[in-house]
Amino acid sequence: MAEWWESITKTFYRCFIRDNRYKLLITGLENTIRISLAAACLGIIIGFLLAVCSLSKNRFLNGIHRVYTDIIRGTPSVTQLMIIYFVVFATVNWPKWLIASIAFGINSGAYVSEIIRGGILSVDIGQTEAGRSLGLNGRQTMFEIVVPQALKNIFPSLGNEFITLIKETAIVGYIGLVDIQKAGDFIKSATYEAFMPLIGTAIIYFVLIKLLTFGLNKAETNLRKSDIR
């Protein structure tokens, strides 16, 4: 037992302490959080606009929604990331994390649009009719009556999409950006140790997701305080 523990501590030191390799994981964690937050914000904006298009009676707007979601959901995230980085922004000198955020935001927007569309449709039509009977126009009814109620319904799904987004950022290494997973790969290559770096990255992801889940649950509870059960 003593020999096993000594072996573990030596491996831990070699993987994370020697040459300050733990700093790679810190940098990777920062990039993962930064990309995920920026992509989530962009995804919500795109998703809301697409949801409005899908609910519109205008065929052109409906077509935009269908084409966008078909293309995004029909191609892998890593392919979209590489197209956006190596083709669309090939001549633009922007930070890699920003381009990655745009790529993931565009991808997330297709899924968020369906979440928001479903949330809006889940609100009883009587709420819309009540708003119009009070003299509110279509925009006021949507933003002051329908959207606040839909938000409660879609919040858990949006939280799950954000969690998925965090895990999807593990592919940013394809464009040479250091995230949690890429940091673990660098440590694995430098030390020829696979177990400790992989377990370390898994633990970081797990803790990050658990903290996020706790925060989302608290926020959802606060949103539903006014509900009558």
* CA distance linking residue 150 with residue 168, whole number of Å: 26
Residue 177 has φ and ψ, to the nearest 5°, of -105, 135
Local structure of residue 56 (DSSP, 8 states): S
* HSE of 40, CA atoms in CB hemisphere, 13 A: 20
Residue 27 has φ and ψ, to the nearest 5°, of -60, -45
* The predicted structure's pLDDT at residue 140: 74
* The predicted structure's pLDDT at residue 226: 61
Token digits of residue 182: 């890429």
Whether 35 is covered by a domain: the verdict is yes
Whether 80 is covered by a domain: the verdict is yes
Whether 229 is covered by a domain: the verdict is no
* The predicted structure's pLDDT at residue 172: 94
> Which domain, by its residues, includes 87?
23-223
* HSE of 155, CA atoms in CB hemisphere, 13 A: 18
Residue 101's CATH number: 1.10.3720.10
Counting the structural domains of the chain, the total is: 1
pTM for this model (two decimals): 0.89
* The predicted structure's pLDDT at residue 85: 95
Whether 16 is covered by a domain: the verdict is no
- What is the CB neighbour count within 10 angstroms for residue 99? 21
Whether 41 is covered by a domain: the verdict is yes
Whether 142 is covered by a domain: the verdict is yes
Cα 221 → chain centroid: 21
Whether 6 is covered by a domain: the verdict is no
* The predicted structure's pLDDT at residue 126: 76
* The predicted structure's pLDDT at residue 164: 92
Averaged pLDDT, groups of 10, the chain, 229 residues long: 80 88 93 95 94 87 92 94 94 93 95 90 77 74 78 87 92 92 92 91 94 89 66
* CA distance linking residue 117 with residue 150, whole number of Å: 9
Give SS3 for 75: coil
Whether 12 is covered by a domain: the verdict is no
Token digits of residue 179: 């995230």
